[in-house]
């Protein structure tokens, strides 16, 4: 449904909650200004309602989690069914049948499909945790501590994941605490010579890479990039970790983005859309790599309280059955083609290229000289919110308008969004 705005944005209740939150939440967390945020009350499909009764179009899928629509009926029903039986178990001590089913399903969808071997998994709650697990696994498997990561890449804000983050803003305040095992190379084929240099003078055990940069600006690398990274890893006994926390589960128009390049990683990290709204992530990989972990002697050396939470597993199994329906993938590709086409028809000098794949799109916002215009992108986000569109900006210059809607976005909603962006660009002149 198209947006329906009844109050000024933010409305009176959102403003009041913003003021209250400022008193109680760390000031680093929620950005609060005259124009931001709205407080969410409920959601359905692509729509979000705020506490003032305004209806919005969510072009973010709430950080790419609600790909199958907010409160997807099948996923919600699975949650309700499971909540009536068991809310929480003992993930690494006395697990549930659901954990078995989920690990099996993930194996089928990844390494069994790709190379005919069963994968082994570690479940956790957040994307960052699955990255931590992948980094530890690579060290155990190779004995080499060094990790190559890429500029503008994002792997989370936990202290281990930060060591491989290519976004300086997140790392710099904590440099003194961050271990120095992560070495950054430029993303894309221009970074490959640097990758070779780093390997020749460091003890590199892993390369961690996003197949398409998410928060880094929806950057699709050159065709050769990932296949060459794969070759380098094979040659030097390096574990290739693909971070598909953002790109996984049809977001880019394939079940996993690595399938665009037929590259099979040694480890893949998944999260966000995995359970359609429950904090659940997974680190899964080739058995010979994952078996670097010792057999548990009664006390796992890597675990967490909520590991394999049964509600999350039940929701994930339901979400995966929708993701593996070929109709889901083809819907993403159809909507993507229509969205790209519509965005490219926006006639305005500040409208730059459309980036990305599938429904992981980014629209570059430019200035008079054709340079990145983060300031305009920010005001576009604020103005769009006033009109009922929830969106965000990405990239090192903050000039890439991120368009990552739920897959059930309608053509009418796509057209309305593009027209609305065009209108805002015209006003900005």
Residue 407: HSE in the Cβ half-sphere, 13 Å Cα cutoff: 25
For residues 128 to 167, the per-residue mask of contacts with ligand PLP, x marking binding by CB under 6 A and - elsewhere, is: x--x----------------------xxx-----------
Distance between CA 237 and CA 142 in Å, rounded? 7
Report in angstroms how near the CB of residue 283 gets to ligand PLP at its nearest: 11
Q: How far is 154 from 162, CA to CA, in rounded Å?
A: 8
- Here the tokens at position 362 are 């980014």
Q: How far is the CB of 315 from ligand PLP (least distance, A)?
A: 15
Task: Rank residues 120 and 251 by Cβ distance to ligand PLP and give the closer one.
Answer: 251
Q: Does 246 bind ligand PLP (CB under 6 A)?
A: yes
Choice between 137 and 342, CB closer to ligand PLP: 137
Residue whose token pair is 């929708």: 322
Smallest separation, CB 211 to ligand PLP (Å) = 9
Binding mask 265-304 for ligand PLP (x = CB under 6 A): ------x---------------------------------
Instruction: Indicate the residue among 18 and 214 with the shorter CB distance to ligand PLP.
Output: 214
Residue 126 CB, nearest distance to ligand PLP (Å)? 4
CA dist 287 and 323 (Å) reads: 24
Q: CA nearest 388: which of 40, 57, 66?
A: 57
Q: 248 CB contacts (<8 Å, ≥6 apart)?
A: 255, 256, 257, 268, 270, 271, 272, 273, 274
Q: Which of 214, 221, 396, 405 binds ligand PLP (CB under 6 A)?
A: 214
Q: Is the bond leading into 366 cis (omega within 30 degrees of zero)?
A: no
Using the rule CB under 6 A, is 215 a contact of ligand PLP? yes
Supply 426's token pair: 């015209």
- The verdict on 243 binding ligand PLP (CB under 6 A) reads yes
- Note the residues at the interface with ligand PLP (CB under 6 A): 63, 126-128, 131, 154-156, 210, 214-215, 243, 245-246, 271
């Amino acid at each position: 449904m198209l947006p329906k705005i009844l109050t000024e944005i933010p409305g009176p209740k959102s403003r009041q909650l913003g003021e209250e939150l400022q008193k109680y939440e760390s000031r680093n967390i929620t950005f609060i200004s005259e124009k931001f945020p709205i407080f969410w009350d409920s959601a359905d499909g692509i729509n979000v309602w705020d506490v003032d009764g305004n209806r919005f179009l969510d072009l973010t899928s709430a950080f790419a989690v609600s790909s199958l629509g907010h409160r997807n009926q099948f996923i919600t029903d699975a949650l309700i069914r499971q909540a009536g039986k068991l809310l929480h178990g003992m993930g690494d001590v006395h697990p549930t049948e659901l954990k078995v089913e989920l690990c099996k399903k993930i194996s089928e969808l990844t390494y069994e499909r790709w190379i005919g071997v069963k994968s082994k998994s570690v479940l956790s709650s957040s994307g960052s945790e699955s990255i931590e697990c992948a980094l530890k696994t690579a060290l155990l498997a190779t004995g080499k501590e060094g990790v190559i990561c890429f500029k503008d890449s994002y792997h989370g804000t936990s202290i281990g994941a930060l060591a491989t983050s290519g976004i300086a803003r997140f790392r710099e305040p904590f440099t003194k605490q961050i271990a120095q095992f992560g070495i950054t190379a430029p993303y894309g084929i221009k970074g490959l010579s640097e990758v070779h240099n780093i390997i020749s003078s460091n003890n590199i055990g892993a390369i961690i890479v996003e197949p398409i940069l998410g928060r880094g600006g929806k950057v699709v690398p050159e065709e050769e990039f990932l296949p060459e990274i794969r070759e380098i890893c094979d040659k030097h006994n390096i574990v290739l970790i693909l971070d598909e926390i953002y790109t996984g589960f049809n977001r880019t128009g394939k079940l996993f983005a690595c399938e665009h390049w037929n590259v099979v990683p040694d480890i893949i990290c998944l999260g966000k859309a995995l359970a359609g709204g429950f904090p659940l992530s997974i680190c899964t990989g080739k058995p010979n790599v994952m078996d670097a972990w010792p057999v548990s002697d009664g006390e796992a050396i890597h675990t967490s309280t909520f590991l394999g939470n049964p509600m999350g597993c039940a929701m994930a199994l339901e979400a995966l059955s929708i993701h593996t329906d070929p109709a889901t993938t083809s819907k993403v590709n159809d909507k993507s083609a229509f969205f790209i086409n519509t965005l490219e028809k926006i006639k305005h000098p500040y409208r730059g290229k459309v980036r990305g794949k599938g429904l992981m799109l980014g629209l570059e916002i430019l200035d008079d000289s054709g340079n990145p215009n983060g300031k305009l992108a920010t005001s576009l986000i604020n103005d769009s919110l006033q009109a009922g569109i929830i969106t965000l900006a990405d990239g090192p210059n903050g000039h890439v308008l991120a368009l990552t809607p739920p897959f059930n976005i309608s053509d009418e909603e796509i057209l309305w969004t593009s027209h609305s962006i065009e209108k805002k660009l015209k006003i900005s002149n």
